[in-house]
Structure 1
């Protein structure tokens, strides 16, 4: 269950697991379905319409910590934020402190991007009155709004930031992972799936295939074979620019390994830091136990 179309380098592990036969080797026939945002994806998993989905860390925490949803994170495929803040050299937003007095563009109201802006602002001691936010969508021409002075910066996916940086060499790119713990992605399943040995085994096999795919991509240093495999399964626009695709993919690979530990593993200390950031921006109440919301027990090599 995907919250955005799979035709993106974001889903490289999933696409490679399918194209290279890692899913098949685990006896899995995996179908990807796009849903309208994280809320619907989480609800579909709870209802049994899908066994696993990939969502933002804070969205998963809010679902279970605030709303009591019977779900749990079972892996962390992206261990650092893959969103970026783009601005111009004339009015740069190179650090969270630089957002003071600025107008920040976001794709939509109330989503992951807005939460990320709020978290970055809080990390710099800023409040809502210190900056402004404006919905600008996701069109390729948003950087024109920066050049026109209508906004000072905006949130964008890593793929798009690489393309814009190539077109606008003077653009300033802020990487949230340099300042905050949140913005990662998790694989999430239902408690009902975890309690059912047969369904639990399916999720474990899925994660084994994903890890094998990640290891395959990491080993392919030139990335030529990886790009060929990605293109054999889906029409991914950035593949038309191989060097841009490779630069983007190397940044994604770095996000898979950001915790400097095992692939897919969720470190307890970083998970707690993400929770504390969510508390700081009012997404969750203080005093909860975030360790109950994730497990590493289903990862390859773990005892379960």
Structure 2
């Protein structure tokens, strides 16, 4: 039932672990970067992927429907650049990548190269599937599972997965 668990908004940061330790909350949904920070700090956390309970997309890019309709070529350029960057990260030595990028931009945590490389590699599983042809593509089954789960627990009243994503642009990659 929807009221079986008390829900509270907690920021996506390692600070949520302190709230668990204090008994103020029982669990915390965070990004993998937060779990990396906590395990690197030696915290004994128990973690699992949300997709273990309900298959869902790992990461999503979003835009207004009007933008998709009016600026498809611009969005396609952005996604092509994103794809090229992801493939470069996959094949490049992590230390070399972090050091190069930190010379060009100010990146939080980049001075801690070893940690930043580990965090980057921990995130990789969310960026792509093993088949580069599927990179940045939608998985209809994951979207359907997620929407079904949201309906089941009352987060949304109804819906079809196709209402939440489009392949209009990614199909042109």
Aligned match for 1:218, one of 90, 93, 99: 90
Conservation of the 8 A alpha-carbon contact between 2:129 and 2:135: no
Q: 1:206 aligns to what? A: 78
Q: CA RMSD of the aligned region, Å?
A: 2.8
1:170-189 equivalences in 2 (<5 Å): 170-182=44-56, 184-189=58-63
Q: 1:193 aligns to what? A: 67
Q: 1:154 aligns to what? A: 28
Q: Give the 3-state SS of the residue equivalent to 1:181 in structure 2.
A: coil
Question: What is the TM-score of this pair, normalised by structure 2?
Answer: 0.79
Of Structure 1 and Structure 2, which has the larger fraction of its residues in strand? Answer: 1
Query: Offset of 1:136 from its aligned partner?
Result: 4.7
Aligned match for 2:120, one of 243, 249, 253: 249
Q: 2:7 aligns to what? A: 133
Q: 1:265 aligns to what? A: 137
Conservation of the 8 A alpha-carbon contact between 1:194 and 1:200: yes
Which one has more relative contact order, counting CA pairs under 8 Å at least 6 apart? 1
Unmatched 5+ stretches in structure 2: none
Unmatched 5+ stretches in structure 1: 1-125
Of Structure 1 and Structure 2, which has the larger fraction of its residues in helix? Answer: 2
What do residues 145-195 of structure 1 show as CA deviations (whole Å, max 9, x unaligned)?
333444333233322221111223422222212222236332233333344
Aligned length: 172
Q: Give the 3-state SS of the residue equivalent to 1:253 in structure 2.
A: helix
Query: Offset of 1:246 from its aligned partner?
Result: 1.6
Conservation of the 8 A alpha-carbon contact between 2:13 and 2:30: no
Conservation of the 8 A alpha-carbon contact between 1:223 and 1:246: yes
Distance 1:300 1:212, change over 3 A: farther
* CA distance in structure 1 between the aligned counterparts of 2:3 and 2:11, rounded to whole angstroms: 21
Conservation of the 8 A alpha-carbon contact between 1:259 and 1:267: no
Distance 1:276 1:169, change over 3 A: same
* CA distance in structure 2 between the aligned counterparts of 1:299 and 1:147, rounded to whole angstroms: 43
